[in-house]
A and B are shown apart, each in its own frame.
Chain A
Amino acid sequence: MSVMTKGKVTDVEELKKIAKSVRIRILHMLTTAGSGHTGGSLSAADVAVAIYFSKMKFNPKDPSWKDRDRFILSKGHAAPLQYSIMAEAGYFPEDTTQTLRTTESPLQGHPCCKRLPGIEVSTGSLGQGLSVANGMALGLRLDRNPARVYCIMGDGEIQEGQIWEAAMTAAHYKIDNLCAVVDCNGLQIDGPVAKVMNIEPVVDKWEAFGWNVIDIDGHNMEQIVGALDKAEGIKGKPTVIIANTTKGKGVSFFENKVEYHGVAPSLEELEKAVKEIDNE
C-alpha cells in the first residue's frame, strides 16, 4: 500500500465495509489469543476506522514518516482494534495478527511503541494519552508541520484526573491540530459508568474546559465523518467528539454486556459473531 492521503476513503459505504472487516479481524485475534478486551475494541471501531481511513495521512512502509498524522489510543486496552486497523492498512502481514498477546509478538496486550512501529507512544495505564497527544500537537506546531493528532479515550478513562489536566492544557495552548474522541460506551469493568463514578454531564464538562464539543452517534458513519470534517475547520481551540457508542457493538450477545469488557470470544461465539457482522 502506498502513502495514504487525506480523504483517501471518502465513501461512507466503503468505510462501513472496512469497519466490518476490522471488527471480524478483532474477533479472530481475540479468540486466537484466548484473552483480551472485546467490548471496548468493538465500541470504538467505527470512529477509529473513520479516523484512519478517511482522515489520516500515513505510510505503513515508513511508519515514522515525519509528515504523518498521529494517532494515540489512550484507552490502550482496545489494542486489538488498533492492530486490526493496522493490519488492514498494511503495517504488518495478516498472519502477525495470530500472535496477539504472546511473548515475541509486536502485538502486546496493550500497545507497545518499541515493539510495533506505527504506535507513537505506549499506552495501557489509563488517562495518559491526551497529554501525549497535546505534546505531539505542540511539537508539530513548533515545526509548522500541518499534520494533525487524533486521540481516542474511553468514558471510564476520563475518571482519571490527568485527563482534565490535559484538557486544560489543550485549551490553554489553543491546540487546534488535535481532535480527541471519548468513546462513551457507558460501561467499565465494575459496571455502568454512571454507577461506578458518574461522569455526566460529559458535554458540559468539556465545554467548560474550553473545548469545541461535537456530540454524535458513534456508530453512524455519516455523523462520524461529518464530525471529523468539522473538527478540522475549528481554529483556536481543541475539538472533542463525544461518540455515543454501544459496548460490544456489532455482536448482539456481546452488546452492553459488562462481562465482555475483558473476555475473548470462544470458538463457538466467534462463529456466531462473524456471521452476525457479515449479515448486518
Chain B
Amino acid sequence: MSSAQGTERKPKATRNQYGETLLELGRERSDIVALDADLSGSTKTGKFAKEFPERFFNMGVAEQDMIGTAAGLAVTGKVPFASTFAVFETGRAWDQIRLVICYSNTNVKLVATHGGITVGEDGASHQALEDIALMRALPNMTVIVPADATETNSVIRAVADYKGPVYVRLGRSNVPYTMPDDYQFRIGRAHVFHTGKDANIIAAGIMVDAAKKASELLATEGFDAGVINMSTIKPLDEETLLNAAKTGKVIITAEEHSIIGGLGGAVCEFLAENHPVPVRRIGINDSFGCSGGAAELLQLHGLTAENIAEAVKTSLKNAQ
C-alpha cells in the first residue's frame, strides 16, 4: 500500500488538473482542440482558450451544437475535448452524443466537470447524479471517473491517445491526493490498493479516498476490507472484480452517483451473471440533491468513510 504518498499536498479539484493537463497537451499536440458551452472558467478549458484561441471554440449556451461541432472537428482529424457541467453535457445532448459520437464512433472526448453531489450550493439542478448511467448505456462509449488530480492527469493523457468516444467525469470541489505519485492510469485497468479477505470496496471518483479511510477504520476493528479504484466504469475491469469477489465475502460499491445504473449497477450486472456474491451499493438512493456545502451533502446522503465502514459490517453480518 502506498496510500500515504502525496497526502501532504493540498487538496485539488480534478477540474483544475484537467485545465492544466489540457493546456500541456495543447502545447505538445497541434491536433488537440477544445470546445465549451459558456463555462470555460468553471471547467478550466479557459486556460487552453487563452493560449490557443484559434483552437478553442466557445459555443455559447448550446450543448447540442457543441457535441455536433465536436464530431465534425473529429472527422477532420482533430482530437476535440468538449466540456461543460456533467448534467448539461450528458443530459441536454444525449441524443447528439448517441448519434454523432457513439453510433458514428467519432474521436470526441467529453470531459465533464461538476459531476455528483459535491457541486454543492448550486443545488439539484446542477448536480449530475445520473450521468454515468446515461453514458454507460451507449455502445462504443468508454466511461472514466478519476479519483484525484494525479489520476486525472494520467486519464486526460490516456484518452487523448485513445481513438474513440470517451466520457470523463470530474468534480468541482477540492479532493485530497489519494493515488500513488507514480500511478499510471490505463483504460479498463482498476487500481487495487489491496484485496480484502472479509470485504472489498469497489469505489470510483471521490469515494476512493473515503473507501481507503473506511478500510483503515475497519482494520482497527479487526476487519480486512480491500479497496479497489474502479476508475474505468466501462469497460469494467472484470478480472480484478472477479478476483475481489472470490477473495472476500461481500462487495461494497461506493460512488457519488445514483445507485441505479452507475458503478454499483455495473458491478451487480457483472457479478450476478458470473459470480453472485452479496453486494451493497453506496450512492445516491434514487433521489435528487439539494443546496449545501459539499462535505455536508456527502454526510446527508450517507457517502462518508463511516457510512462505508458501517455498510461493510452490516453486509458481513447479513452474509453469515
Partner of A166, one of B68, B75, B78, B103: B68
B69→A114 contact, CB < 8 A: no
Known A142-B33, A142-B78, A165-B62; contact A136-B106, beta-carbon cutoff 8 A: no
Q: Which residues between 39 and 77 of chain A lie within 8 Å of chain B, taking CB atoms?
A: 66, 70
If over half of B's interface residues share one DSSP class (helix, strand or loop), that class is named, otherwise mixed; here it is helix
CB-based nearest B residue for A166: B65
Contacts of B59 in A (CB 8 A): 165, 169
Q: Which residues of A contact B (CB under 8 A)?
A: 66, 70, 112-114, 120-125, 127-140, 142-143, 145, 161-162, 165-166, 168-169, 172-173
B64→A136 contact, CB < 8 A: no
Contacts of B75 in A (CB 8 A): 70, 120-121, 132, 135-136, 139
Q: Mark B78-112, 1 if CB is under 8 A from A, else 0.
A: 10100000000000000110111001111000000
CB-based nearest A residue for B76: A139
B69→A131 contact, CB < 8 A: yes
B73→A139 contact, CB < 8 A: yes
CB-based nearest B residue for A72: B72
B57→A162 contact, CB < 8 A: no
How many of chain B's residues have a CB under 8 angstroms from any CB in A? Answer: 32
Instruction: Verify if B276 is at the interface (C-beta below 8 Å from A).
Output: no
Contacts of B66 in A (CB 8 A): 131
Partner of A138, one of B57, B98, B99, B100: B57
Docked Cα-Cα span, A122 to B74, in Å, equals: 13
A128→B76 contact, CB < 8 A: no
Known A135-B69, A169-B69; contact A162-B54, beta-carbon cutoff 8 A: no
Contacts of A142 in B (CB 8 A): 33, 54-55, 76, 78
B72→A139 contact, CB < 8 A: yes
B76→A136 contact, CB < 8 A: yes
B95→A125 contact, CB < 8 A: yes
Identify 18 new A-B residue pairs, CB closer than 8 A, beyond the known A138-B69, A139-B75.
A121-B71, A122-B103, A124-B99, A128-B100, A131-B64, A131-B66, A131-B69, A132-B69, A132-B72, A135-B70, A135-B73, A135-B80, A136-B75, A139-B73, A162-B64, A166-B68, A168-B62, A169-B65
Instruction: Verify if B41 is at the interface (C-beta below 8 Å from A).
Output: no
Instruction: Verify if B67 is at the interface (C-beta below 8 Å from A).
Output: yes
Docked Cα-Cα span, A241 to B164, in Å, equals: 34
Contacts of B69 in A (CB 8 A): 131-132, 134-135, 138, 166, 169
Known A121-B106, A122-B100, A128-B99; contact A138-B72, beta-carbon cutoff 8 A: yes
Contacts of A66 in B (CB 8 A): 77
Partner of A114, one of B68, B73, B77, B105: B105
A131→B105 contact, CB < 8 A: no
